[in-house]
Amino acid sequence: MKFWLFFTRSLVWWGILVRFITWSKWQHVGVGFTKEDGTEWYFEALAAYDVAGPRAWGDVARWARKSRFRKYTSIQLPCTPEEAEAAWGECERLQGVSGYNKWQLIRMWLAERFGFRVFKNELKLVCSEFASRVSIVAGHDLRDEKHITHDEVTPGGAYDKAIKIVGQESKN
């Protein structure tokens, strides 16, 4: 099994808001898996919903094809099949945890712009916190010197860290 992250953006108002808050071209991040049979699946934390998945990867490609203003990319992170299986298990464990709300976005904005700490909320996950927690299980830490806790990781921060992990140049 392989493990990867995917990043999306569109022109919906909350996406523009997230990109503004986090200084990023990416508004959302989720985690994906390629099974041994070649099928691709993803999990994600969505605003006002629970952690969702597994869903067929083709859903994201169909979503992107609906508008030229919808974009996505994915980055495969190196890990063993056992680490990828453990990450899948972490996704299943986190199912049912609520998605984030507007107050978490406001706290992320304060953290990103002014360096305030984000108050931890075990009952709600932003998409990038979800990806960060799952990536740790797959052997990769998406936190950095600016985003020191999982709940402070942003989609752009996760993208930049994933690029560093695989040794590519960031286009964020």
Classify residue 35: in a domain, yes or no. Answer: yes
Give dist(CA 126, CA 128) in Å, integer. Answer: 6
* C-beta separation of 73 from 6 below 8 A: yes
**Whole domain around residue 20: which residue ranges?**
2-166
2 by DSSP, 3-state: which? strand
Q: What is the pLDDT of residues 134-154, one digit of tens each?
A: 999 999 999 877 766 676 788
pLDDT of residue 112: 67
Percent pLDDT > 70 in the chain is 79
| Confidence at 156, pLDDT banded by 50, 70, 90 | confident
- CA–chain centroid gap for 88, Å, is 14
pLDDT of residue 50: 81
Classify residue 171: in a domain, yes or no. Answer: no
pLDDT of residue 125: 79
In terms of pTM, does the model score above 0.75?
yes
Classify residue 73: in a domain, yes or no. Answer: yes
Name the domain count of the chain. Answer: 1
CATH number at residue 33: 3.90.1720.10
- CA–chain centroid gap for 126, Å, is 8
Q: Which residue has tokens 């305030």? A: 116
